[in-house]
Amino acid sequence: MKRIVWFRRDLRVEDNPLLALGGEVFPVFIFDTQILDALPQDDRRVSFIFDRVLKLKKALQTKGLELKIFCGDPLEIFSVLEAEGFDEVAASGDYDAYARERDLRISHILHFRYLHDTYIFKPEEVLKDDGTPYLVFTPFYNKAKAQLTKEHMQEFTFVDQKLYQTSYEGITKLNGEEETVLPLTISSVGFRENMPRTDEVESKLEQLKKHLPVYAKERDYLDKEATSQLSIDLRFGTISVRALLRFLVEQKKSGVDTEPFFRQLVFRDFYAYLLFHFPDLATHNHKYRFNGIEDQEKYAAFCEARTGVPVVDAGVRELLQTGGMHNRVRMICASFFTKDLLLPWQWGEAFFAKYLLDYDAASNILSWQWSAGTGIDPQPYFRIFNPYLQSKKFDKEAGYIKKWVPELASVEPKKLHDESYLLHHTIEGYPKPMVVHKEASQNALAYFKQRL
């Protein structure tokens, strides 16, 4: 068997089903110009991916393998490779709309072998008794938990493989059937280095081990740092979800309550599962005709972190400066965006998609639909977060707010959770709230009721 093994959302050697197949292999990674052409040249994700691809290349070399790095349209690349007599291309499944369409078209060029790797369960594995997909998380979770077996946690061990003989130097660009080999630098794919600060997986697991006993109680608090920080690693496959499950099993044996964290992993599966079964969710409401009200001025104020609502502005600044945002703050910001500002959730989803390092289409889209009250799960449209009560509860001493909005450093914490104070006092260098939350909430409810 002579196959192309295509690394995508699995940038690792350990526990990778691609490397457990045997035979003659041609390992490749493709910087997909269909995706990259829409991104700014300093996009942090491209720097992160480029760094991890170089590490993957070195790791493969220690195994007697190599990595051919291409830049271009995958369809054109596989059209050229098809003439080299490969029997198939193997890759881990990717379930967003673009990936599914791309892979389908490539399967018409070469036999396409899908390997399950990115999520715990296959998209058609957890179904109702009548064979239809679940629409509510709790029943899905209960069924998923009941169906979880050792096979979902199995470790794929590396097997010896024969390396396809070709040049593995530099980055290969194709112009028709003509190859150009460029230096192995990020500028060769049209980007500038803007490497985000991210710890290695091993240190993150050590931190998670410390926080896991209090994860359920502390993960929503903005000053506790109790989240796993592993979302980017799961997104790009620098850790396998199976390895994380095995880690949880070991912790559970030590008496740690791992259920809250496991539940979040299954939630990640659930959102990917929904997008797989209902691809229209990527752009359209599942329920209600709430399309939001287009307002460029409000949108600009939100995206530029000048809403006058401290926790919202802090979250947006964290996003713009680091590519990250605490999960609780994502919920606060999304609620403010869709309810207080009544902006279309699709605009907010696109804004997050542009800057989030851990951007995952399913998780982002379904989370925004949840906040807007338009998704599949039963999030009622009339549930509206009060950003001041949220910050008072989860950032009582305003440490998070002051970190990202330093012009508020001298303001007493309780005043930063007090809308009345912010509306009636001038803070040098910081705007007053652009809306009154109670009034905005009432306007939102009136708008929603009109469109039921």
Mean pLDDT of 230-240: 95
pLDDT at position 224 is: 85
**Angstrom distance (rounded) from CA 380 to CA 375:** 9
pLDDT at position 379 over 70: no
Q: What is the CATH number of domain 119-153+201-277?
A: 1.25.40.80
Check the CA dihedral 16-21-22-25 and report its sign: negative
Q: Identify the band that residue 32 occupies on the pLDDT scale cut at 50, 70 and 90.
A: very high
The reported pLDDT for the residue numbered 293 is: 93
Using 50, 70 and 90 to split pLDDT, how confident is the model at 378? low
pLDDT digits (tens, 9 = 90+) for 396-421: 999 999 999 999 999 999 999 999 99
* Cβ atoms of 212 and 203 closer than 8 Å: no
CB atoms < 10 A from the CB of 254, how many? Answer: 10
pLDDT at site 188? 97
pTM: 0.93
For domain 296-450, give the fold.
DNA Cyclobutane Dipyrimidine Photolyase, subunit A; domain 3 (1.10.579)
- What is the domain partition of the chain in residue ranges? 1-118, 119-153+201-277, 296-450
- Whole-number Å distance between alpha carbons of 171 and 185: 8
> Mean pLDDT throughout 334-342?
97
CA 28 from chain centre, in angstroms, equals: 23
Q: What is the pLDDT of residue 60?
A: 98
Please give the average per-residue pLDDT across 266-276, as a whole number.
Answer: 95
The confidence score (pLDDT) of residue 227 equals: 87
Task: Retrieve residue 7's tokens.
Answer: 């690394």
Cβ(125)–Cβ(41) below 8 Å: no
The residues, ordered by sequence, that sit 6+ positions from 239 with a Cβ below 8 Å of its Cβ are 12, 201, 230, 233
Q: Write the CB contacts of 377 (distance below 8 Å, at least 6 apart in sequence).
A: 135, 136, 137, 366, 370
CATH 3.30.420.590, applies to 1-118? no
Q: Please give the pLDDT value at position 65.
A: 98
